Amino acid sequence: MALTNSGRTPGPAGTFRDLEADIMFSHPEAHPRLPGPSGTGARGPLFLGEGSGSAQPSGYSSKADAVANLTKPSSSAVQQLSAAITTVLKLNKNKTKDEALRLKKEKVVHDIVKAYGVGLTHVTGLEFSNRNDSSNHAETLGTFIIVFDSVLVHPGFVASVILHESSHAQRNAELDNAGVRLSFATEDIWSALKEFEGAQLEIDSAAKTGITEKEKKEATSLRNSHLSEIEALMGKKTRTEIENGGLDAVRARFIQQLKSRP
Ligand SMILES: [Zn+2]
């Protein structure tokens, strides 16, 4: 659910090689890695295994703003928001999806975000889109969130998706502030770290959002698949560190190491 399209475009052939040479130069402890076909999951260990002690986490170890003030609305508030969803879904079926309807749906989403206290500090825009061609409930491009019709399941689900996306916006903003630019290979790692966080936040917030058991299970299965991805890209030690609550430290080290690349 709520997969993110970060707008990535595969780089030209040869990018991997250059990058790897780069990484090996600045991080002699790095593991070599064999680039596999694009889109395959596990591609062998990459680099940046558990800390060598040379890179210290600094200002990039921040908690997720998206859930800092998350709250469980009263059941009457949830009922009202549910009714609002039902109303726009009916309109969605009965009339052309015009700008007026798009704005109505956008208002419902904003009302939900407000009622649940989803943090949007790092989000520069939260828009509804009438587009039908996305397989995602929402997408985050940099710090801008776009949500689609499929998000309109129930209020808590919307809150869960938006808090997930908001966490991506925060991390993208932090990366931007660090002045780091991702390459094809490092984007895989960055994406896996963000998706793990987003899914974990959804799971941890379940009591407040009231997502269903089924939705929670889906988030859990996504979380687990991102953990496997992290293990494939960064090694088992890093996976274990993250499983033990070390995500912020891993991310901080990752950004620090990207910054120190010549
Ligand atoms: Zn995501």
Name the one residue in this structure whose structure tokens are 């959002």. Answer: 209
83 C-alpha vs ligand 1 centroid, how far in Å? 27
Half-sphere exposure of 1 (CA within 13 A, CB side): 28
199 C-alpha vs ligand 1 centroid, how far in Å? 7
177 C-alpha vs ligand 1 centroid, how far in Å? 20
Look at residues 100, 78, 87, 56 and name the one whose alpha carbon lies nearest to residue 260.
56
Residue 164 CB contacts under 8 Å (≥ 6 apart), including other chains: 1, 2, 66, 138, 198, 199, 201, 202
180 C-alpha vs ligand 1 centroid, how far in Å? 20
What is the 8-class DSSP label of residue 136? S
Half-sphere exposure of 211 (CA within 13 A, CB side): 25
125 phi and psi angles, rounded to 5 deg: -170, 140
pLDDT of residue 137: 96
165 C-alpha vs ligand 1 centroid, how far in Å? 6
Distance set, CA 118 to CA 98, 173, 193, 202, 252 (Å): 27, 17, 21, 12, 24
196 C-alpha vs ligand 1 centroid, how far in Å? 8
Cα(173)–Cα(187) distance, integer angstroms? 15
143 C-alpha vs ligand 1 centroid, how far in Å? 12
Q: Tokens in use for 54?
A: 């040379």
Q: Tokens in use for 11?
A: 């780089």
160 phi and psi angles, rounded to 5 deg: -65, -45
90 C-alpha vs ligand 1 centroid, how far in Å? 28
Encode the chain (262 residues) as per-residue pLDDT tens digits: 444 444 433 333 333 323 332 333 333 333 333 333 333 333 333 334 334 444 444 556 688 999 999 999 999 999 999 999 999 999 999 888 999 999 999 999 999 999 999 999 999 999 999 998 889 999 999 999 999 999 999 999 999 999 999 999 999 999 999 998 899 889 999 999 999 999 999 999 999 999 999 999 999 999 999 999 999 999 999 999 999 999 999 999 999 999 887 6
